Amino acid sequence: MPKLYNAKKLGKGLKIGLRELNGAEWFADMTLDADKRTCRKINVPFLPEDERNILLAENKAKRLFEELLLERFNESNQKINVPSWQTKFFSLSLILLWITGMLWLTLDFMDLNSFGQTQVLILHGALIIPALVSLGVLIVSHIPEGWEPTKRRKSGYLLSFIMLFLVISGFVLFYEDSFMNELSYSHSLTGLFLVPLIFWHFKKKSTS
C-alpha cells in the first residue's frame, strides 16, 4: 500500500493524508489488525490551511475507523476455529467411506459380485469406526463454537440430519438383511451427496 503524503497521525493505527502528492482530498490510512490494513477516501477536500477542514477530516476518519474496527470484530467472532488435525482426520475418514461406498454401488449396478463387492462392503463397514470417532471429536469442538454464526446453521442442520440418517441406516443394513432392497439405495444415494455438501458447508462464507 502506498504511503500517504502530508500525513497526520491521529492515533494508533490511524492517520490521514494524501494518496497522491498533489491530491485534492483527504484519505484515511487504517490498520485494523495484523492482517488487515486499508486506505479509504473520506470525501473531504484537502484544505490544509483551514482548521475546520482538518477537524472535519479527522472526525470522519475516526468514525470510519471505529466502524471498520467494529465490523472486523464482528467478522472475527463469526469465524469458527477448528484445529486443522480434526478437519483433516474427519475429511480423510469421510473420503475413504465415500470412495468405498461409491465403489460398492458401482459394482452393484454393474452386477460384478465376483469382483470383491463383499470385501468392499466389509472395508466400508470397518471405516465407519474412525469416521465416527473423528465425527465425535469434531462435534464436540465445532457445534458449540459454531452455534452463533447463523449463516451456516441451516447447512449444519441439514448435514447433521443426513449423517444421522446414514449412521442409522448403515447399522440397520448391517444387522438386518430384510431391509436391504428398501434401504440400501437410499443410503447410497444420500452418501453420494454427503461429501460435496460437507465441503460446501465448510467453504460457505459465514459473513457477507
Question: What is the domain range of residue 29?
Answer: 5-78
Domain edge (last residue) among 57, 78, 99: 78
Give the mean pLDDT of the chain.
78
Q: Is the pTM of this model over 0.85?
A: no
pLDDT of residue 205: 45
**Looking at the structure, do residues 90 and 27 belong to the same domain, yes or no?**
no
Beta bridge partners of 41: 27
- Count of H helices and E strands in the chain? 5, 4
Q: Say how many C-beta atoms besides its own lie within 10 A of residue 26's C-beta.
A: 27
Write the DSSP string, 142-170: HHHHHSS-GGGHHHHHHHHHHHHHHHHHH
**Looking at the structure, do residues 183 and 104 belong to the same domain, yes or no?**
yes
More confident residue, 205 or 173: 173
Extract the C-alpha cell encoding 185.
439405495
**Looking at the structure, do residues 118 and 168 belong to the same domain, yes or no?**
yes
pLDDT of residue 149: 52
Domain edge (last residue) among 30, 53, 78: 78
Query: What confidence tens digit (pLDDT) does each residue in 88-133 have?
Result: 787 788 888 888 888 887 887 776 665 677 788 888 888 888 888 8
Asked if the structure places residue 88 within a domain, the reply is: yes
Beta bridge partners of 8: 16
Beta bridge partners of 28: 16, 40
**Looking at the structure, do residues 49 and 93 belong to the same domain, yes or no?**
no
